[in-house]
Amino acid sequence: MKKLPILQKKEKPLFKVELQPTIPEFPDVPKHKVNIRYPLIAPYSYAHIFWDNKSKELIYYVEEPVLNPEEKNILNLLEEGIKELINISYLNVKKGETLIVYLEKNLKVLLNELRIEVSKDSYLKLMYFIYRDFVGLNEVEPLLCDYFIEDIECNGVGLPIYIVHRKYRNVRTNIEFDSTHQLASFVEKLAQKCGQYVSYANPLLDGALPDGSRVNATFTEDISSRGPTFTIRKFTRNPWTPTQLMYLRTASPEILAYLWLLIEYERNIMVIGGTGSGKTTFLNGLIFFIPPSARVVSIEDTRELNLEHSNWLPSVAREGVGLSNILGQKYGEVSLFTLLRESFRQNPDYVIVGEVRGKEAYVLFQGMASGHPSFGTMHANSVDTMIKRLETHPINLSPSLVETMDVVAVMTHAKVKGKEVRRMRELVEVIAVGEKGDSTINKIFVWNPQTDSFMFNGNSHVFKKLTIQHGVSEAELNAELDRRSKLLIKLYQNRIFDFHAVQMVINEYYKDPKAVLAKFGVT
């Protein structure tokens, strides 16, 4: 068996991975008939989702190259050597093929120095695991590469990791950590990737990975009795488009067309719901409708929003360090309140707040009242609950400020024919808010769970306001609502789901609506 030569500078690497494989389509079949396999880190790791007759549940099985005992020993030896040989900070900065060339060069140096001879097949398997463990997040890295995974949940040592899949919801995986030491080391690695640290004195981790994924973890057994734990809420680089929301039946084309009109006419929109109800996903879908030339400023605790928009300023809050001062602030802290206050000095056309929950609400609603159209999400299961939260401590808004909100989309996590789904339960127009927290509202769209369809009452209070403020008739608004609904249906029928493609059509519609309607045959 010949030794593999040291990689030369201009030589292409033998090891290659495809990190953006083709997104599969899932067959709409009963759970007990599910059997689908698709690539994660192609061509080395795959997801295999199938029904397990023994446990009577779906299993998410991560398939990776199998190492024989000799290859395992070589891998352990190489990983110890690479820790001494490579520059870890280089791995954090470099990406793509440059990084693979760097790793492969060092691996071949080690193989030659240790006089280890391996076949090409073994070499590629070893290189995969080294890439996975040093560039990625070890056993969890394939899960992070799955476009369809929303959350990754580890509840302790010796327990399988669970994932929240966009199609199949909560699913058990074949991945687990066998020892407290192994899991604690992984949590430490998570902390390093987040630019933070955990220890027995500071056992809680709340941070964000370089790709924007949100991490919450515990480090010691006295905090969580089953050992260290972690939850990763994945950041979606390409959020769900309006046509994908239609495909998932989260909202109807009429709802999306209605909200598109409201966004164009600079109305204020809030998306509310419980945990995991799809608030941020729905808000991200609405952002597609912002005019292409508009100045957009977003403020978040953890980066979750993503816009295909050149005139967009994304801002993220930052935690401070050390002990809190008399005001409860830490050194270097930059809060949502501070970011939002500063954002109104940056001449925004639209302001987006990832989640409203504290004193930043006062600044946001002041901005709404002064003519800055704003969007946001909030934890509340109904409009009444939201208004009570806004009017009581710690937010304490006046009814006149709450009234500046035009429309509230109420999201829900429900079951339809035994399947877990996310739906916009109702779209509510806020007409008036009283001094005692009572409100006058108009439910413009309501979801019917029996038929899994949306009903439109045809009487929009917001449209009436637009006729007064902009001089456009209700007949014109309803005709435009109909045209945009038909256009979204055409995009859906033509299977235009891609992030960039959908955004391009919407941008073109703002520039030349007649041409776009003609192109898709909308009359």
Q: What are the tens digits of pLDDT across the range 173-190? A: 999 999 999 999 999 999
Determine the residue type at 151.
D
List, for residues 190-205, the tens digit of each pLDDT value. 999 998 889 988 899 9
Q: What is the CATH number of domain 248-459?
A: 3.40.50.300
Amino acid 8: pLDDT:
46
Query: What's the pLDDT score for residue 273?
Result: 97
Whether the CB-CB separation of 137 and 83 falls below 8 Å is answered with no
Please give the CATH architecture assigned to the domain spanning 31-233: 2-Layer Sandwich (3.30)
Lowest-pLDDT range of 12-21, 112-121, 226-235, 293-302: 12-21
pLDDT bracket for residue 2 (50, 70, 90): very low
* The Cα angle at residue 175 between residues 170 and 179, in degrees rounded to 5: 125
Read off the DSSP letter of residue 329.
Answer: P
More confident residue, 25 or 442: 442
Number of H helices, E strands in the chain: 17, 18
Tens digit of pLDDT for each residue in 214-239?
899 999 888 888 999 999 999 877 78
Query: Exposure string (b/e) for 299-308, b if CB count within 10 Å is 16 or more?
Result: bbbbbbbbbb
What average pLDDT does this structure show over 48-73? 96
Three-state DSSP state, 244:
helix
Judge if the upstream peptide bond of residue 210 is cis by omega within 30 degrees of 0.
no
Ordered by start, the domain boundaries in the chain are 31-233, 248-459
pLDDT reading at 518 higher than 60? yes
What pLDDT does residue 324 have?
64
Provide the pLDDT for residue 304. Answer: 84
Cα 340–Cα 342–Cα 347 angle in degrees, nearest 5: 100
Q: What is the reported pLDDT for 39?
A: 94
Q: What are phi and psi of 405, to 5 degrees?
A: -75, 130
Token pair for residue 462?
């917001």
Q: pTM of the prediction?
A: 0.82
Tokens of 116: 């280890």
d(CA 351, CA 146): 31
Model confidence at 10, pLDDT cuts 50, 70, 90, reads low
Q: What is the pLDDT of residue 101?
A: 84
Note whether 40 and 56 are within 8 A (CB): no
Local confidence band at 99 (pLDDT 50, 70, 90 cut-offs): confident
- Euclidean distance between CA atoms 242 and 496, whole angstroms: 10
**Amino acid letter, residue 1:** M
CA 415 to chain centre: 22
- CA 514 to CA 516: how far, in whole Å? 5
